[in-house]
Amino acid sequence: MDRRQQKTRAAIFAALSTLLARKSYSKITVQEIIDTANVGRTTFYAHFETKDDLLKALCEGLFSHIISSAADCTHTHGLYSDESAPESVFCHLLQHLQENEHNILELLSCESSELFLRYFKDSLNELIRDQVVSQNRRNNTDIPQDFLVHHISGSFVEMVLWWIKGQMKQTPEELDRYFRAVIEPIL
C-alpha cells in the first residue's frame, strides 16, 4: 500500500473514531464518514466494501497492535525508559491501554462498545492461549483449553470495563496483581 492509500485509510479511520465519540455506530452513515474524512464515495469503497468492513479493519488494527505489543516484551513503546518491562503480559497490556492510543478506552466504553468488545476479546483469546494457558497450566487439566481461554479473556475484558467505569484509579500493576490472583489458581 502506497503512502497516499495509507493516508486515505488513516483519514477514514479517524473519521469513524470521531463520529463514534459523538453517536452510536448504528446511527453513523457512510456519507457522514466520507464527509468527515473528506474523501469521495468511490475512494471509500475502494478501501472498504461496507461500514462494517471499516469497523472490523479499525478494530483489528487497534487490537492487533496492542496485543502484539503486549506479547513482545522487547517492544517497550516508551513505557519503560527508566525501568525494565513487566513480567506479566497482562500488566504490559494494561499499560498500553492506559496510554490510550487511538482513544481505545473511549471506543471500548462508548455506546457502540459491544462490537469493539467482541473484537477485543477475540484478539485476547490468541494472546491468552499462547502466553498464559499453554505455558502455565498445571491445574484443571480436565477442563477444555478453549473454555479456560474464553473464561480468562472474558474476565480480563470485564476487569478493563470496571477499571474504565471507575475512572482508572488503580495502576496497571495493581490491576495485574488482582487479575493474576484470580486466574492463577485455575491454571
Q: What is the pLDDT of residues 112-153, one digit of tens each?
A: 677 778 888 888 888 888 877 777 777 778 888 899 899 999
Residues 6+ apart with CB under 8 A from 87: none
Q: Cell triple for residue 74?
A: 522487547
| Contact (Cβ atoms closer than 8 angstroms) between residue 183 and residue 155 | yes
DSSP state of 139: S
pLDDT for the residue 102: 60
Asked whether residue 20 carries a pLDDT value surpassing 90, the answer given is no
63 or 157, which is more confident: 157
Q: Where residue 83 falls among pLDDT bands split at 50, 70, 90?
A: very low
Q: What distance in Å separates the CA atoms of residue 6 and residue 12, rounded to the nearest whole number?
A: 10
Instruction: Decide if pLDDT at 86 tops 50.
Output: no
Q: For the chain, how many residues are written?
A: 187
Residue 59 neighbours by CB distance under 10 Å? 20
Q: Give the Cα separation of 4 and 12 in Å (integer).
A: 12
